[in-house]
Structure 1
Amino acid sequence: MATLNDSELEQIDKFRHLQLTLRDRWKTIELFDESEADILIVPSLSIDQRELQKIEGCEHYEERLLFSLMRLRNPRTRLIYVTSMPLHPSIIDYYLQLLPGIPFSHARHRLLLLSTYDSALKPLSQKILERPRLLERIRQALRLDKAFMVCYNSTAWEAELSVKLGVPLYAAAPDLQIWGTKSGSRQIFAQSEVPHPDGSARVWNIADLATVASDLWERQPWLQRIVIKLNEGISGEGNALLDLRQITSSDRPEKTLAISHRFPTMRFQATKETWENFSGRISELGAIAEAFVEGENKRSPSVQGRITPNGEVEILSTHDQILGGPDGQIYLGCRFPADERYRLRLQQLGLQVGKKLAEKGALERFGVDFIAVDQGNGNWDIQAIEINLRKGGTTHPFMTLKLLTNGRYDLSTGLFYSQQGRPKYYIATDNLQKDRYQGLLPNDLMDIIAHHRLHFDSGTETGTVFHLMGCLSQFGKLGLTCIGDSPQQADDIYHQVVNVLDAETRNGNHDFSSCSDYPFPTTWDGY
């Protein structure tokens, strides 16, 4: 590890001093959630940009933190939301109109939207730092003694931004992000005594990768497949599957060589991945080899938690993830809550991981992904496979539910209850994507939502909340969270939305007949 110079050490000291003010300011979860505060939202995807590009429409993923606008339901909260490119006004209006009991104008007055007007493929935090005038405008808009910053993930960019603004970052410090990588996750699982598949430490070249994969096969000769993971891959897009069954018995005495020869034919989970690119990334990011968990009835549940500024660990939710891709390793969406047969066990394992992360000084969100295999008679073998030390695909749907209903999560049942005492369920996705949806503008979607009454009903606390609306026109991609009073109702609401969108875009032609009584021409956008 490179030695830090005096300037870098000074910045680290300032960053940690700022984070300590969070602990002094909010002693409990309740005070934190209900406090008078200025919240700076910087939804910068400060991750490896080449890995990020594997996700279609990634440039619009800054919209995933727009659920934060619902924090404006607290009339003492002010919020600044910064994006690379301006957001369509109708998207902002959509979120503000979801706020129960708060006049639209009151919420809008407490919201400041800023943009760098820079669509370059680099982290938003970096773009802000490159614009001193924008930086100063943000600083002037904040009450520094009441402010904190929220981001998607925490890196040196976010730390520098925190120090330059004098605003504490509510997230794990950049030097702790190692625990959210594939190799770091495995270390935390071992230290917190959480079951996880056999595998390797991080390696940096193909020869060592072949060696650790061979060693893994030697320890478990019954293995059928091995997962090769780039250490900083996201959403399963950095994974590849090595099929050991394709290595003949005559090749097995030279396992390391045989595995090395099979690497170029691995099945990559990212659609356009190649061995040439993947192998080059190993020397840049590192990689691990891990036993692939087999099973006929297999699930991928997850647990989410939060570490407060005073070190308290809170379990927030459990989900059953919906996965796709060639071998079911690509994150597509989730169902809340996880299956009742194992969700309380997930909570306990998540608590063990959270306490270990808290010991290391981590803050705010963490998520743990698992593989659960049905062994019959109600028994499930649960293996942890990854920690997300950042916001993830399950963060925004759960926070949408929580902020819309002001309900509570019950640890004894693993259910979420509205203020009326009704358990709530949802199905959510970032990946409702069809070519036929391309060309739909945000206003077109609003017309469809209004005509078919697809919106979230604050009276029944059921319906659909849409997100990633900026992805729709170019990529035909949309996110949604469908909330019901039962798992079946949530599924029915989801299918209704899909059926309506399919009907409105039948044969690739957008049907505007539903908007024929709209009081303005179709070119009118209200601004």
Structure 2
Amino acid sequence: MASLESPASLDLARALAAHRPGSRVAHTVVVLPSYSVEHKLLAHFGPRIPALEHRQLLSMLVLARLPQAEMIFVTADRPTPRAIAYYLSFVDPELRDGVRARFHVVEVPDDTPRSVTAKLLDRPDLLATIRSMTRGRLAFIEPWNVTHLETEVALRLGLPLNGTPASLWPLGFKSNGRRIMREAGVPLAPGREDVRSVDDVVAAVDSVRQERPDALGAVVKLDDSATGLGNRVFRFADVPGPTLLRAAVESLGPEYLSDLASGAVVEELLTGEELASPSVQGDITPGGGVDVISTHEQLHDGTHRQAYAGCRFPATRDYRSDLAAYGASVGRLLADRGAMGRFGVDFAATRTSSSRWRLHGLEINLRKSGTTHPLSLLHNLTSGRYDGVAGTWTLEDGSRRCYSATDNLADPAWRGRSESEVIEAVDRAGLTFDRRRGVGAVLHMLNGLASGGVVGLTTIGRSVDHAQRLHDTAVAAIRAGPGPPGPAGATRSALPRSMHDERIDA
């Protein structure tokens, strides 16, 4: 465990304490949306990387709750004045000027498919600018993930990082994750760690087949991979014996087999009459404390449902408390090994008509994820608290809030569509987030429209069903377009009362 007595840990602890909502301690947070992942993933996302960076732009809303805080947002794509004005519209009018004055953008103009951290390291002039903006102030860096690149930025800026040290990044690899989850008492799908060759895959799949004769297949997951891009599924109906399986694995090609040599896991392909993909998210403090902060249902698409597409908060009532308990147990083991900051644990949940839900631990993430920024919206747009026992977000009036979120609302026909057009389409439908009622829609990743016709959407509602209804209605409004212009001075239409006031227990 990292010692709280070290200067870096003490500085980070002081800065994080200052960054709690309601604090009036002057400080600066450098938001570094560092999508620092292996090169194949960077190449896969390519032009979408700046849009992924802009997910963290939502964090600017916390400035309304921190009157003495300053934020420096580092990005390869400067947010437009329209996007900034849109987010400021969710802040109380009397606070907007102050929030805008304390929000600073450092742009690193570079369209190569690299993380913004790598680009920043190429610009000593911009590093000097950030140093001058943080000099003499309590400050810290809030990264998306931490690799040697983020560590180098922290060293050059002389600021602490709120994240797991780069040397511990392998703790989040699939094989190590299975070992840690097993030690934490998390139930796992049948499988094997440290698979590195075709022979290993064949033997591991045969082991799964023997342990689970009724299994429909197995999945290979590369150790250092994310968003399902390193996963390959083999259905037993297609490879009924070792000869066909070996041929199928060999057909994955030299590039995949080369990556396989660095390590992978093989697990049962979990199926059931009902199948869900819940997750739990937590924070590890500089002193080694563990706070479970949310549970989610993750949504997946693509071949064999292996690619992350979005999430819903909270997770299903039947297993929320189990998720939280497992998350806390994993978090304590990670803290003992020196992990810091945000972490997540992904699960599969299965059940049949005659059984209860069964949870199976899948992987550990030592970074932020697609479930992070919608949670920050909930925190910063509604005045409430997370009930760790019930696993819900409760407002001061006792009502609850849930949300549905996606980073993958895409249509090739939207490429080049203006931010204003999409914002106005949601607004004219009366769906834009209502600060008074605490429900409605918020768009993000608006810069993704120009490059790929993609935008993110989070809808906050009074129940899971309510949030999903708002989400579906907002998507329909975006697809329909902004409609004809209204009369001068027209205000946004109101949501139907049934959509505002639905009260279904989460």
Which AA in structure 2 matches 1:480? L
SS at match of 1:379: coil
Select which of 38, 44, 68 maps to 2:59: 68
Corresponding residue of 2:366: 389
Supply the distance in 2 between the matched residues of 1:375 and 1:431 (Cα, whole angstroms).
Answer: 30
Supply the distance in 2 between the matched residues of 1:49 and 1:518 (Cα, whole angstroms).
Answer: 49
Supply the distance in 2 between the matched residues of 1:135 and 1:29 (Cα, whole angstroms).
Answer: 22
Corresponding residue of 1:44: 34
Corresponding residue of 2:237: 245
Corresponding residue of 1:99: 91
Are the equivalent residues in 1 in contact too, given 2:177–2:363 (CA < 8 A)?
yes
SS at match of 1:183: helix
Corresponding residue of 1:260: 246
Query: Cα–Cα, structure 1 residues 121 and 32, in superposed 2: closer, same or farther, change >3 Å?
Result: farther
Which AA in structure 2 matches 1:281? D
Are the equivalent residues in 2 in contact too, given 1:41–1:82 (CA < 8 A)?
yes
Corresponding residue of 1:113: 105
Establish whether residue 446 from structure 1 lines up as the match of residue 437 from structure 2: no
Are the equivalent residues in 2 in contact too, given 1:202–1:286 (CA < 8 A)?
yes
SS at match of 1:233: coil
Corresponding residue of 1:278: 256
SS at match of 2:227: coil
Superposed counterparts of 1:55-454, under 5 Å: 55=45, 57-73=48-64, 74-100=66-92, 102-248=94-240, 252=241, 255=242, 257-263=243-249, 275-283=253-261, 285-376=262-353, 379-454=356-431
Which AA in structure 1 matches 2:121? L
* Backbone CA RMSD of aligned residues: 2.5
Q: Which runs of 5+ in 1 are unaligned?
A: 1-11, 266-273, 505-510, 520-527
Which AA in structure 1 matches 2:30? L
Supply the distance in 2 between the matched residues of 1:358 and 1:52 (Cα, whole angstroms).
Answer: 29
Which AA in structure 2 matches 1:279? L
Displacement of 1:517 after TM fit? 4.8
Q: Which runs of 5+ in 2 are unaligned?
A: 491-506
Supply the distance in 1 between the matched residues of 2:24 and 2:190 (Cα, whole angstroms).
Answer: 43
Supply the distance in 2 between the matched residues of 1:169 and 1:202 (Cα, whole angstroms).
Answer: 30
Establish whether residue 23 from structure 1 lines up as the match of residue 13 from structure 2: yes
Are the equivalent residues in 2 in contact too, given 1:405–1:419 (CA < 8 A)?
no
Which AA in structure 1 matches 2:32? V
Which AA in structure 2 matches 1:110? R
SS at match of 2:150: helix
Displacement of 1:120 after TM fit? 1.0
Displacement of 1:147 after TM fit? 0.2
Are the equivalent residues in 2 in contact too, given 1:228–1:290 (CA < 8 A)?
yes
Corresponding residue of 1:513: 484
Corresponding residue of 1:3: none
Cα displacement string for residues 133-175 of structure 1 (whole angstroms, at most 9, x for unaligned residues) = 1101000101455100011111000111111111000011111
Corresponding residue of 2:498: none
SS at match of 2:192: coil
Are the equivalent residues in 2 in contact too, given 1:28–1:310 (CA < 8 A)?
no
Displacement of 1:77 after TM fit? 0.9
Supply the distance in 2 between the matched residues of 1:441 and 1:118 (Cα, whole angstroms).
Answer: 22
Are the equivalent residues in 2 in contact too, given 1:38–1:143 (CA < 8 A)?
no
Supply the distance in 2 between the matched residues of 1:517 and 1:26 (Cα, whole angstroms).
Answer: 46
Supply the distance in 2 between the matched residues of 1:426 and 1:164 (Cα, whole angstroms).
Answer: 39
Are the equivalent residues in 2 in contact too, given 1:19–1:169 (CA < 8 A)?
no
Displacement of 1:206 after TM fit? 3.3
Cα displacement string for residues 222-248 of structure 1 (whole angstroms, at most 9, x for unaligned residues) = 433110112122111221101222234
Displacement of 1:312 after TM fit? 1.2
SS at match of 1:228: strand
Corresponding residue of 1:455: 432
Are the equivalent residues in 2 in contact too, given 1:19–1:170 (CA < 8 A)?
no
Comparing 64-73 with 138-147, which one deviates more in the overlay?
138-147
Cα displacement string for residues 166-205 of structure 1 (whole angstroms, at most 9, x for unaligned residues) = 1000011111111212112111112212111122223444
Displacement of 1:258 after TM fit? 3.9
Cα displacement string for residues 310-341 of structure 1 (whole angstroms, at most 9, x for unaligned residues) = 21111111111111112122111111111111
What's the % identity of the aligned pairs? 31
Q: How many equivalent residue pairs?
A: 485
Are the equivalent residues in 1 in contact too, given 2:423–2:443 (CA < 8 A)?
no
Corresponding residue of 2:495: none
Which AA in structure 2 matches 1:109? A
Query: Cα–Cα, structure 1 residues 99 and 264, in superposed 2: closer, same or farther, change >3 Å?
Result: farther
Query: Cα–Cα, structure 1 residues 225 and 29, in superposed 2: closer, same or farther, change >3 Å?
Result: farther
Displacement of 1:370 after TM fit? 0.7
Query: Cα–Cα, structure 1 residues 469 and 26, in superposed 2: closer, same or farther, change >3 Å?
Result: closer
